Amino acid sequence: MKKGLIALIIVAVIGLIAYSSIKGFYNKAITMNENVSKSWGNVQTSYQRRNDLIGNLVKTVQGAADFERTTLTAVIEARAKASSVTIDPANITPEQLAAFNQAQGGLSSSLSRLLVTVERYPDLKSNQNFLKLQDELTSTENTIQTARVRYNEAIEPYNNHIKTFPNNLFAGWFGFSGKPYFDSEPGAEKPVDVNFDFK
């Protein structure tokens, strides 16, 4: 009778410890996952801000007589492509993140070519609306860089939490998986140069 009671107490204590460990893992993983989702939302918001500014910039440039249509069309198409790539942060994969990064990189390249072309148009270079949009784009590029860094910073503790033993066992049970870091393409560490000096 006494041995049975001791065994029951030991099983109960082990069960309580296991429950507490699993509960602690799960709740922490959920909190960290939500932080990753929030950080990704800030990345998307920053890119959407840039997308909106580029739309306004395109409208301003379209008003210039005889502006090079191929350059303008390239920006419009790259903007549409970048807008079409969406990611669910709960199920983000390295391939999705690479596609997103590639689309945004294509838009950056097209925008860069557009802004270089503008130098040949004195009316545009002195257009106050155009100059204001350039300043806002510069600020937005900095915001994008900050948002990407913070996204990576949110992923690191989450990945560490679910990949270390014994948490990696619990992660499999609850469907938690590692998330990819936001890696830049070669040369993408430099933001789009939109700060022109027309003197």
Q: Tell me the Cα Rg of the chain.
A: 25
Q: What's the mean per-residue pLDDT of the chain?
A: 86
Residue 69: domain span: 2-174
The structural domain count of the chain equals 1
In a domain, 116, yes or no: yes
Domain-located, residue 40: yes
For 94-137, the DSSP string reads HHHHHHHHHHHHHHHHHHHHHHHHHTT-HHHHT-HHHHHHHHHH
Cβ atoms of 55 and 79 closer than 8 Å: yes
Confidence at residue 197, expressed as pLDDT on a 0 to 100 scale: 44
Helices (H), the chain: 2-62, 69-84, 94-118, 122-125, 128-163, 167-174
pLDDT digits (tens, 9 = 90+) for 38-87: 999 999 999 999 999 999 988 888 877 567 788 888 999 999 999 998 88
Cα separation, 130 vs 59, in Å, equals: 10
Residue 191, in any domain of the structure = no
C-alpha 138/C-alpha 135 separation (Å) is 5
Percentage of the chain modeled with pLDDT above 90 = 48
pLDDT digits (tens, 9 = 90+) for 162-188: 999 989 999 989 999 999 998 865 455
187 domain residue, yes or no: no
Which 8-state DSSP code applies to residue 90?
G
The upper half-sphere exposure of residue 189, i.e. CA atoms within 13 Å in the direction of its Cβ, equals: 3
Q: Residues 79, 81, 83, CA angle at the centre, nearest 5°? A: 70
Domain assignment of residue 39, yes or no: yes
